[in-house]
Each structure stands twice: as structure tokens, then as C-alpha cells.
Structure 1
Amino acid sequence: MPGRLVLHVGAMKSGTTFIQSRLFANKAMLRSRGVLVPGREWLSQVYAAKHLLEGQGRMWEKHAARVSEHDGTSVISMEYLGPARPAAAARVRETVAGEIEVVITARDLNRSIAAMWQETLQNGRTWTWQEYLDGIVAYRPGHREAGQPGPETGRTFWRQQNLVRMAQTWGQAVGPENVTVLTVPHPGAPRDLLWERFASVLGTDPEGFAPAPTQNESLGAASALVMRRLNELLEEAGLPFPAGTPFRKGLLSKTILAGRKSSEPSIGLPVAPWVRDHAREMVEGLQRLGVRLVGDWAELEPVEVPGIDPATVPEGEVTEAAVAGLSGLLADVIRRDEEERAAAREAEKTR
């Protein structure tokens, strides 16, 4: 008898990495409780989602087949699927037997804006903070100029953060009663509350799980500015993103510069009136759709993000962050070189 698929589709920067890391760190325990996490590793689900969205490739079919054969609960988590087009959402329904519950994790809009800008810089963008804010306001759902394509900054943000459109698209495919909005707690809430809520959707006790081994760390304001300028220089050198992703994002941004966050001012953002208006409209839109709620609608009320305007970061702090990044990269190169030399010497001894 076909079981149930919990399909976690985002939104981006709403605790998705935390949930994905916890799932894959506890595959065996979940399996012992009847919950299947298909794929050898998280990248398997990444490729499956890409194949689904692109309409080609076999990875999605393999995942769909495993889920359909499992008579318990299965879980796939990939935020790329949040802004899926209706055809891709319909394909999920067509290829997976049994019940499907789509989960949209939702964070308050103001925190999402600050988190998304630095994430776009880690993904090779070169937008200034003000350009990003202006684009978000200009392309705000329900307030766009008719017939105007809008700035790319706004299109990029709302593609990932238009929760009402996400719920509509997935609700059309699986039924709005099978779409769950799971709210991300406000700052100061117990650290594992998000996991407890997600575990409740899976239908398993949240206790006893190993902690998530990785986090999708954000950048401080100075390091974000370093990445923005670096992206500009690499583009000028004919190396636009995604060239060098393992080095510029995986090593420099996510490891070296992210490790400096506690020593840098954070990116701050007061709550603008339009943000409060949109948050209210968003909650009303989701409620009209009849989606299920896990958490509290009040947690989508925007809160101030403590920190500073990136435009006010002193040049000296940006320079310090840049030097720290250069030092970290050079240290990695030196360590690799020494390891290779040592291996070569050992190989020479055995000849």
C-alpha cells in the first residue's frame, strides 16, 4: 500500500539547511521509525529536484519510485522546488503514488530580506544593498507596474519568497488541504523548536536525534561587501559565477568569512511600513487558500533585524575582512601543497 511523501519545498533561508542536515545525519534512525529519506546523500535530492524542474534526467524518477514503493512516510527536502512551475508540481503528483504533503517553511519577511541579500552575494551576484532593497519594493506582489518586467533584484527575491504563489501552485497539484505552512520561530525561541515542528509533520518523536552537523552560515556586513566586490572583479576577469564555486563559495564564503561573523557587525534592517503591510497581506492570502498551519501566524509578523546598514561599514573593516579571506585561502593552498609534497616523498621512498 503506498505511503506518504512529505515534500519540503522551502522557502529559501527558512531553516532548510538545518532541516536537511538533521534528516541526513539521522537517516538510519528515521528508517528504524519507518521514515525513508531517499538518496545516498543530500546532493542526491538536489539532483532529483533539478531533474524534476528541468523535465529531464532520471534522478527524480528513481526517488519517486522509492517513495512510491515505501509503505510508510518518506521525506524529500529541497528549496529549489518552492517556486516550481505548475507543470513541475503536477509531475510530482503524477509520479508519486500515495499521499503527498507539501511543507513550506516560512520566516518573517524582514529577516528573509537581510538573509537573502548576503546569500545572493555568496552565489555570485554584485547588487548593492540599496539596489537590492529598491528592487524588492519595486517588484512587490500586487504592487507591480503593469507590463513592466521589473528589476532582476526584485524578480530574484520574490521568486523565492512569494509564499502565497508557492502555496497556490502546490495546492493546485496536491490540494490546498495537503499544503502545510510551518513557521520559523522568532529569535529567542528554543533552538530545536523548528525541528520539533518538522518532526510533528513527519509523525515522529523529535527526541533522540543527532544534531545537524552543518549550518548554512550567513556573513557579517564587512564580509558581504568583500564578496560583492570579489564577484565584480571575477566577472571582469572573465570568471563569472559559478566558475570556482567550491573555492569562492564553499571555502572562502561559507568557511573562512562565515567564521568571522561573530567579530563583524551584522547586516541590520528596520521594519519598513510596506513590509508590515505585505506580511499582513501574505498571511491573509495563505489563510484564504485554506492551508494547514504548524506554528503560529504571529511568527510571520516582521521583526527588526539588529545590525548596521552595509553602506556605513568603514573601509578599514572591509579591508580587514578581505585580508582575512586572502589569508585563509592562502593557508589552504599551503596546506594542500605541503600534503602533496609529503605524499610525494613517501611515494619516492617506496620506489
Structure 2
Amino acid sequence: MFFHVGAAKTGTTYLQRLLFANREQLAAAGVLYPGDHFGAHVQAAFDLRGTGFDGPDPHAEGRWRAFVDAARDWNGPVVFSQELFSPADPRQIATALADLSFADVHIVLTARELSRQIPAAWQEDVKNRFTTSFDEFVRQVREPRRLASRQGRMFWELQDCVDVLQRWARDVPPERVHVVTVPPPGGPRDVLWRRFASVVGIEPGFVDAAAAFQNSSLGLVETTVLRRLNLALDDEVGWPLYNELVKHYLAQDVLVDRAGSSPIRLSEDDRVWAAERARAQAEGLAAAGYDVVGSLRDLLPPDPPPQASSDGSPEASVEAQLEVALEAMAALLLRISRLRRGIR
């Protein structure tokens, strides 16, 4: 039983898309990836934790039990994968492991270098309708104990690999705890999948990893425009509509991977702080004696790019924001037109 509990923005969506798209082939090969739709693992996490995106999710009720029953009935390896399991508290984790006591549970955590995680987490929050500026987000991440640092605390609940594994693996032998590191940029796209598959016992070439959906991050200008849109919207635009048209269509289909998009970068001071924190995390994982697939060096920061300034990301110019906003308006109007004509 392989329980992949996170972390968010470490290629989890990429891995989950691969597993879900190939679930029938995997089942034929003896590996179960349960769930009748892609969001089923989200619902299982919400059901276990008694939560949801906006309060308890009624659609999630019974999903965790269904997953447990499916795992019990399966004769072979089973994979649960969802980063929303990672914030579970000790009581919820004890419940999960007790429910799965019939299996040898392996805990799997994918981990990525911190200076890449912080910008990625901010833009992901903006895609989920948050309105915090990048500077304030970084301040909260650096000072999570401040009363006003809600997003900072949320960040570490998902991203503090040492803490997440101390909670989830307290009663699991270290040889059954696997840290899969995300490789640095520039290498083959399927390295993460090959590392993950080696843990689960799947032949990596069994699936076409190149065809999987990549949940790429937005650039600075695109995220700035989306954040300004969030500030302008009111409650009349509910989450289901926002989720469909803004998050999944506008952000993940239209604004992602635009030509010439500028990455979001930390300032020099924040990079130095993140490097120190990343080294502490790598040392903590090494000391715990977990199985590391890849290298803990992957979690250490590279040298800053030559073009990086001490101020981090430049300001998103008004002209650049206007160009993105016009593209967004045109894309949304086209989408509405197609929906009215019954074209999905």
C-alpha cells in the first residue's frame, strides 16, 4: 500500500494524471489506483479530514471508506495519491493508518527545492482566488507564527517535509518511508515519473509519461493580472463558476506557458533565507533515515541566475498587464460563446 501524501507543487498533478489515465492498464498489471473520476482522491482526503474547499464537502462523504474497502479487496499494490492528505492532524493520521492496518503501508512524499516552491505556491493560491501580494506571501512564509500569517501557516502544513513525515510516518518504519526528489529543471521530463514508479514497483515504460498534463506555474505578469481580477470580483461569482472558467480554463489553459512570460523570483535576501531553510530540511530528512529516491542535493538551491537582481522579480508593467488582460477577456468571451453553442 503506497500512500503518496504530497507535497503540493512537486509534480503531484503530473503523477496523478498519469496514474488516472492509465488506471485500467495498471489494474491489468496488478496495481490499483482507485477512484471513478480524477477528483476522487481529493474527496478521499477531504472525507478523512472532514473538510473541503469551502467547508465540509458533502460529495466527499464515504469516499475514504470506499478507498479503504477497495484496497482491502485488492490482491496487489495499491496507490493513494493526493497532496491534500499532508495537512492531516495526528488523530486523522492515526485513523487512516488504523483503517489500513491490513496492509504494509508505505508513505511517499515528493519534494522540491524551496526557492522554486514558494513562487509556485503563491501563484497556485492566486489561482484559487487568494488576493495576497507576493511580497506579503513571502513575509507570511518567513514569519508563519504571526497572527496575520494564515497563508504562511498553510504553506508549511503542506511544504515542511520534515514535519509532514514526522506526523505521517511516526508509526511507520523508515525503510517504508520514501522521499522522491524532484530533479532540477532542464533534464528529461519523465525523471520524476521514473523515480516514483520505481518506488511503487511499476515499470516506468509501461505508460506514456510524455503525454501527461503538466500543472505548470503562471508567470509574474499573468499571476498579477489574475490577482487583480480576484480583487475585483465579488461573491456573486461563486466558486463553481470561478473554478471552471478562471482557474481551470483561464489560468491553466490560456495564461500558462505564454511566450516571453517572466518567472516569479525571490529577492536575494529571501533566496538566502530559503537556502538556509532548504539545507535544514535536507539535513532533517537525512537524519530520519528515510529511503531517498533521487538525491537530497535536488532540494538544495542552485546558484541564482545571472539576470536575477537583488530585488527578485521586477514589477509587472502596466503595458504587460494590459496585454495579458486583453488576451484573457478575448479568451473568456470565446469560451462563453462556445458554451452557449454547446461546445465544450
Provide the residue aligned with 1:344 in structure 2: none
Identity %: 34
**Structure-1 separation of matches of 2:169 and 2:92:** 13
- Which residue of structure 2 lines up, in the alignment, with residue 318 of structure 1? 321
What code does the residue aligned with 2:205 have?
Answer: E
SS in 2 for 1:328: helix
Q: RMSD of the TM alignment (CA)?
A: 2.1
Once the two structures are superposed, residues 250-308 of structure 1 have per-residue CA deviations (whole angstroms, 9 ceiling, x without a partner) of 11111111252x33222223562211211111112122222221110100002347778
Kindly report which structure 2 residues correspond to 1:127-142, keeping only aligned pairs within 5 A, or say none: 127-139=132-144
- Give 3-state SS (helix, strand or coil) of 1:7's partner: strand
1:196 aligns with 2:177: no
- The count of corresponding residues between Structure 1 and Structure 2 is 327
- 3-state SS of 1:263 partner: coil
* Aligned partner letter, 1:269: L
CA contact (8 A) 1:225 1:310 kept: no
| Aligned partner of 1:263 among 231, 245, 260 | 260
What secondary structure, in the 3-state scheme, does the structure 2 residue paired with 1:191 have?
coil
Tell me the TM-score normalized by structure 2: 0.89
Which residue identity does 1:229 align to in structure 2?
R
Q: Decide which of 333, 336, 339 is 2:336's aligned counterpart.
A: 333
Give the TM-score of the pair, scaled to structure 1: 0.87
Q: Any conservation in 2 of the 1:197–1:295 contact (CA below 8 Å)?
A: yes
Alignment partner, residue 71 of structure 1: 75
Q: What residue in structure 2 maps to residue 295 of structure 1?
A: 294
Q: Tell me the equivalent position of 2:161.
A: 163
- In 2, Cα distance between equivalents of 1:339 and 1:281: 53
Q: Structure 1 pair 311/240, CA: closer, same or farther in 2 (3 Å)?
A: farther
Corresponding position of 2:205: 207
CA contact (8 A) 1:25 1:210 kept: no
- Equivalent AA in structure 1 for residue 189 of structure 2: R
Runs of 4 or more above 6 Å deviation: 305-308
Q: Does 1:278 align with 2:241?
A: no
Distance in 1 between the 2:320 and 2:226 partners?
13
- Structure 2: 5+ residue runs without aligned partners? 52-59
The structure whose Rg is larger is 1
**In structure 2, C-alpha distance between the alignment counterparts of 1:129 and 1:38, rounded to whole Å:** 37
Question: Hey, what does 1:14 align to over in structure 2?
Answer: 10
Greater CA drift, 323-332 or 92-101: 92-101
Give the letter for the 2:277 counterpart: H
The letter of the residue matching 1:297 is L
1:263 counterpart letter in structure 2:
G
Contact 2:32 2:77 in 1 (8 A): yes
Q: 1:12 and 1:91 mapped to 2: Cα distance?
A: 22
Q: Kindly indicate whether residue 64 of structure 2 is the aligned counterpart of residue 60 of structure 1.
A: yes
Q: State the Cα distance separating 1:19 from its structure 2 match.
A: 0.4
Q: Does structure 1 retain, via aligned residues, the 8 Å contact 2:12–2:83?
A: yes
Is 2:105 the partner of 1:108?
no
1:339/1:81 CA distance change after superposition, 3 Å: closer
What is the distance in 2 between the residues matched to 1:276 and 1:19?
27
Partner AA of 1:195 in structure 2: W
The residue identity in structure 2 corresponding to 1:32 is: A
CA 1:30–1:88 in structure 2 vs 1: closer, same or farther (change >3 Å)?
same
